[in-house]
């Protein structure tokens, strides 16, 4: 996770919450009405509580500690164990100011300008009633916040100095960016149309010139003929008219042609720039995927009894969001592998004269249009001989072939499906599904994986990735024995065509869709591929809808295989003339699939309005309820990048309304919320038949056993404490609850 944007959000949110504190305290001092006073105390308490929760989540330890101290005091105030006098109000306001100053300083990467411990010591001591403290989990300064930033987790959370000087930013939803990228892509297609128009204008110009030459020829021909004076005069007048019109036509054609060509080329430049800018807006620092690694290494080292240090380099290297998403798992897998298979046990390392503590290094660097991510370890390395033996044993190669296999090729064996070098299948790695998946993921991205190793010295795995991806959403369809990709932007959905629905119209089979007549055409015919119509043997077949208003078309295919984002590659200069293809899409297994040209499809068929809904692949829909903007967005972003469709609710009541209005698969909720808290919300859900079985995950800073029990009693399936929060565990829980 790149936490930078959350830091800024947190600063804004804290500023707002401090205003709530100030206003609330003023209300308390002035108000007599008990109900008003109660509401004000509740409001302040929640504000402080939110700050505490968010600060802990972001690893702002000092802010969290101070907020916790204030929250305790406010808790006593709420319980009526303490009354608000002037000194207490002053102390609260001063401490609130300190929180704000501290937050801003931490966000901007400056050292703490105030002494937190002195401020806490200066606060009125808690009354002797410890059981009523709202949060039992006092943060211990020795334990680092769990979702630590990518740097060394033993260091205090000192943000990088660059953060404060960062340029102004604005948060944009990812789907908006994607939409912008799509629109930019549409413009690129439109640009191609402009180029065609320009060519037509040039052709027109040539025609006009030819016409002019023909006119001159005609004139000289006529000059040689004999006419009466009257005839000659009449001809001259006509010729003069023609000449004038021809001149005007030529001038106009030439001017318009030139102007249009100039405009088209300027436009092309702009469209390219726009596309690049939008692409750049999708770039995120690789630190986002580094975030989970330190914890992984620590846990794994503990589980395997090894000693290892993780070094991360190049955190600021930026990659397309899509690329980051796709390398997240491979990177995690490779780091696990490095530790599990690479690094030896401390005793083994000592015997080999190495530092008992192994080193796993992950670095990223940009070179040209590529990013190179290297995962290296100083472990035992890969032994080509052992790899050969294993490949023979697994029956992947015959013994004679193994001997001729070069060391480099032998190392490449680890990318074979089902190949794993761990003698024992462990829980951690060695399931043999890893390396081939890594290669598959990388190939799909248009990247590469390379492995280098020295026995006894260590292993280096180099991932080469494209900086940005021009991905296109494509539909993979099967026609005969071949697979083709259709740009999703060029079609409007998929349908099943029943043979019994077919009605011949003007010699063509058609069907009725939403009251409109649609021509049914096998895609095989369009491509000139041999094969019988999918409807020849079967009573129904899938079809892709495309078409113009005048001529909607349902293109019959043998099967709809998949819908996915794909990197489109050009076919090269030799096949340029094959206008029907827009390029080729590489599948994970290295196979190629031809992409049908969207322009060609547009010809066959352009927009049939209104488009029928596309059968989108169903993603799990989650609702996140949290009154803290920072926490809400943090969780939302974690869940979204894990591929879930996420909606947010600002409190329990809002969540309940949304859950009643639309179906959701799971609820992630905060406990402390205005109007309806997490416990109440859960209890309410359990009373409603339609929502009774909805899985609920409560996330809270209330860590006490009693609260946990209350949560589970209310019917929550899981209870995650903010101070122990880490995105992996949240995602694991959600995956389990959604049934994998």
Partner 1 sequence: MADTSQAPSATSKPTSGERDHLVIRVGAELYALAGTCVREIARWRVPTPVPGAPAVIPGIISQRGVVLPVVDLRLALSMPATPPERSTRLVVVQHEATDLVLLVDGVLDFIPVAVAAMAQPPAALDAARARLLTAVARHDDQPLGVLNLAVIIAAVREGL
Binding site for partner 1 (CB under 8 A): 446-448, 482, 527-529, 569-575, 577-578, 580-581, 583-584, 586, 590-594
Nearer to partner 1, 504 or 528 (CB): 528
Shortest reach from residue 530's CB to partner 1, in Å: 9
Name every residue whose Cβ is closer than 8 Å to that of residue 100 and which is 6 or more positions away in sequence. Answer: 14, 15, 18
Name which of 353 and 528 has its Cβ closer to partner 1.
Answer: 528
CB of 527 to partner 1, least distance (A): 5
* Lookup result for tokens 């009526």: 80
Q: At what angle do helices 34-58 and 61-78 cross, to 10 degrees?
A: 160
Which helix (H) or strand (E) covers residue 406, if one does? none
What's the closest the beta carbon of residue 184 comes to partner 1, in angstroms? 23
* Closer of 445 and 730 to partner 1 (Cβ): 445
What span, in angstroms and rounded, lies between the C-alpha atoms of 703 and 135? 7
The residue (of 230 and 574) whose beta carbon lies closer to partner 1 is 574
Burial 421-430 (b: 16+ CB within 10 A, else e): beeeeeebbb
Shortest distance (Å) from residue 528 CB to partner 1: 6
**Least distance from partner 1 to the Cβ atom of residue 178, Å:** 24
- 203/575 with CB nearer partner 1: 575
**CB of 316 within 8 A of CB of 309?**
no
CB 697 within 8 A of CB 737: yes
Alpha-carbon distance of 609 to 127, in angstroms, equals: 70
**CB 373 → partner 1: shortest distance, Å?**
16
Run of H or E including 151: none
What is the four-CA torsion angle of 727, 728, 733, 737, rounded to 10 degrees? 100
Q: What six digits make up the tokens of 343?
A: 């690094």
Q: State how far the Cα of 348 lies from the Cα of 354, in Å rounded to an integer.
A: 9
For residue 341, give the DSSP letter.
I
Q: Which helix (H) or strand (E) holds 308?
A: strand 308-313
**By the 8 A CB rule, do 645 and 622 touch?**
yes
Question: How far is Cα 389 from Cα 397, in angstroms, rounded to an integer?
Answer: 10
Closer CB to partner 1, 287 or 442, in the complex: 442
Closest to 160 (Cα-Cα) out of 318, 361, 316, 298 = 316
CA 44 to CA 40: how far, in whole Å? 6
State the DSSP string of 22-39. HHHHHHHHH---HHHHHH
Residue 288 CB, shortest distance to partner 1, in Å, is: 25
379 versus 582: smaller Cβ distance to partner 1: 582
Which residues face 621 on adjacent strands? 645
Nearest approach in angstroms of CB 265 to partner 1 is 21
Element (H, E) at 396: none
**Residue 672 beta carbon to partner 1: minimum distance, rounded to whole angstroms:** 52
Enumerate residues 6+ apart whose C-beta is below 8 A from 278: 177, 180, 181, 184
* Residue from 339, 271, 259 nearest 306 by CA: 339
167, with CB counted inside 10 A (0-12, 13-18, 19+), is exposed
Measured from the CB atom, is 359 or 467 closer to partner 1?
A: 467
Please report how close the Cβ of residue 562 comes to partner 1 at its closest, in angstroms.
17
Q: How far is the CB of 486 from partner 1 (least distance, A)?
A: 14
Closer CB to partner 1, 360 or 556, in the complex = 556
In sequence order, what are the residues at sequence separation of 6 or more whose Cβ sits closer than 8 angstroms to the Cβ of residue 410?
A: 384, 385, 387, 388, 391, 402
Phi, psi of 668 (to 5 degrees): -110, 120
Q: Which secondary structure element, helix H or strand E, spans residue 468, and what is its range?
A: none
Q: Which is nearer to partner 1, 404 or 550 (CB)?
A: 404
Sheet of 508-513, strand order: 494-498, 540-547, 552-556, 516-522, 508-513, 503-505
Q: Which is nearer to partner 1, 379 or 583 (CB)?
A: 583
- Name the H helices within 445-533: 523-527
For the beta sheet containing 370-377, the strands, ordered from the edge strand earlier in sequence to the opposite edge, are 308-313, 358-367, 370-377, 458-466, 448-454
Q: Two tokens at 683? A: 């209890």
Task: Give the nearest distance from C-beta 587 to partner 1 in angstroms.
Answer: 10
Contacts 24+ apart (CB under 8 A), 516-519: 516/552, 516/608, 517/552, 518/545, 518/547, 518/552, 518/553, 518/554, 518/608, 519/547, 519/551, 519/552, 519/553, 519/554
Q: At which residue do the structure tokens 């013994």 appear? A: 399
Shortest distance (Å) from residue 469 CB to partner 1: 13
Which residue, 67 or 465, has its beta carbon nearer to partner 1? 465
- Closer residue to partner 1 in complex, CB, 253/593: 593
Q: Considering beta carbons, is residue 164 or 591 the nearer one to partner 1?
A: 591
Q: How far apart are CA 608 and CA 72, in angstroms?
A: 63
CB of 577 to partner 1, least distance (A): 4
Least Å from the CB of residue 586 to partner 1: 6
Q: Closer to partner 1 at the Cβ: 41 or 449?
A: 449
- Would you say 602 or 635 has its CB closer to partner 1? 602
Q: Of 69 and 584, which CB lies nearer to partner 1 in the complex structure?
A: 584
Q: How far is the CB of 592 from partner 1 (least distance, A)?
A: 4
Give the shortest CB-406-to-partner 1 separation in angstroms.
Answer: 14
């Amino acid at each position: 996770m790149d936490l930078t944007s959350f830091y800024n959000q947190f600063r804004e949110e804290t500023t707002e919450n401090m205003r709530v504190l100030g206003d609330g305290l003023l209300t308390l001092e002035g108000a007599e009405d008990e109900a008003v006073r109660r509401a004000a105390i509740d409001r302040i308490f929640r504000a402080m509580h939110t700050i505490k929760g968010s600060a802990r989540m972001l690893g702002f330890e000092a802010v969290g500690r101070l907020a916790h101290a204030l929250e305790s005091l406010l808790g006593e105030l709420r319980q009526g164990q303490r009354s608000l006098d002037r000194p207490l109000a002053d102390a609260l306001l001063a401490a609130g100011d300190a929180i704000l100053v501290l937050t801003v300083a931490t966000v901007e990467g400056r050292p703490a300008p105030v002494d937190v411990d002195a401020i806490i010591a200066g606060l009125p001591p808690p009354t002797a009633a410890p059981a009523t403290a709202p949060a039992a989990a006092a943060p211990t300064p020795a334990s680092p916040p769990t979702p630590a930033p990518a740097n060394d987790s033993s260091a205090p959370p000192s943000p990088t100095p660059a953060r404060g000087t960062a340029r102004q930013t604005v948060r944009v939803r990812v789907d908006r960016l994607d939409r912008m990228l799509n629109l930019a892509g549409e413009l690129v297609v439109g640009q191609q149309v402009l180029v065609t128009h320009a060519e037509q204008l040039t052709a027109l110009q040539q025609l006009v010139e030819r016409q002019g030459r023909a006119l001159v020829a005609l004139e000289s021909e006529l000059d040689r003929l004999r006419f009466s004076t009257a005839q000659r005069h009449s001809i001259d007048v006509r010729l003069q008219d023609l000449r004038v019109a021809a001149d005007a036509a030529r001038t106009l054609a030439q001017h318009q042609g030139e102007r249009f060509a100039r405009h088209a080329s300027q436009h092309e430049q702009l469209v390219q720039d726009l596309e690049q800018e939008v692409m750049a807006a999708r770039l995120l620092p690789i630190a986002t995927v580094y975030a989970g690694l330190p914890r992984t290494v620590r846990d794994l080292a503990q589980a395997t009894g090894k000693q290892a240090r993780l070094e991360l380099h190049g955190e600021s290297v930026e990659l397309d969001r899509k690329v980051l998403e796709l390398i997240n798992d491979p990177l995690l897998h490779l780091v696990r592998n490095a530790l599990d298979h690479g690094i030896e046990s401390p005793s083994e390392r000592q015997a080999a004269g190495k530092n008992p503590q192994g080193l796993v290094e992950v670095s990223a660097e940009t070179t040209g249009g590529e990013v190179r991510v290297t995962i290296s370890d100083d472990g035992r390395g890969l032994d080509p001989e052992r790899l050969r033996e294993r490949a023979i044993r697994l029956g992947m190669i015959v013994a004679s072939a193994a001997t001729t296999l070069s060391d480099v090729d032998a190392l490449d064996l680890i990318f074979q499906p089902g190949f794993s070098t761990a003698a024992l299948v462990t829980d951690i790695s060695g399931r043999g599904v890893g390396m081939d998946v890594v290669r598959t993921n990388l190939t799909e991205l248009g990247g590469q994986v390379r492995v280098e190793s020295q026995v006894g010295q260590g292993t280096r795995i180099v991932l080469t990735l494209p900086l940005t991806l021009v991905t296109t959403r494509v539909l993979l369809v099967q026609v005969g024995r071949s697979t083709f990709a259709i740009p999703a932007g060029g079609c409007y959905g998929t349908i099943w065509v029943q043979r019994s629905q077919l009605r011949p119209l003007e010699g063509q089979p058609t069907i009725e869709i939403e009251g409109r007549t649609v021509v049914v055409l096998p895609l095989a015919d369009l491509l000139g591929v041999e094969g019988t119509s999918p409807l020849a043997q079967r009573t129904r077949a899938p079809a892709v809808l495309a078409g113009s208003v005048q001529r909607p078309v349902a293109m019959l295919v043998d099967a709809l295989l998949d819908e996915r984002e794909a990197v489109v590659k050009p076919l090269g200069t030799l096949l340029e003339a094959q206008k029907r293809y827009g390029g080729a899409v590489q599948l994970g297994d290295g196979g190629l699939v031809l992409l049908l040209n969207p322009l060609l499809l547009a010809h066959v068929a352009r927009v049939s309005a209104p488009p029928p809904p596309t059968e989108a692949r169903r993603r799990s829909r989650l609702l996140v309820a949290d009154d803290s903007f920072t926490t809400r967005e943090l969780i939302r972003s974690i869940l979204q990048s894990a591929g879930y469709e996420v909606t947010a609710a600002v409190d329990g009541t809002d969540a309940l309304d949304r859950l009643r209005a639309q179906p959701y698969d799971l609820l992630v909720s905060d406990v402390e919320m205005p109007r309806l808290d997490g416990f109440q919300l859960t209890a309410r859900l359990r009373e409603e038949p339609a929502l009774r079985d909805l899985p609920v995950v409560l996330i809270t800073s209330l860590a006490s056993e009693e609260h946990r029990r209350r949560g589970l009693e209310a019917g929550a399936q899981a209870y995650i404490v903010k101070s122990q929060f880490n995105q992996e565990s949240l995602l694991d829980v959600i995956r389990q609850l959604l049934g994998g």
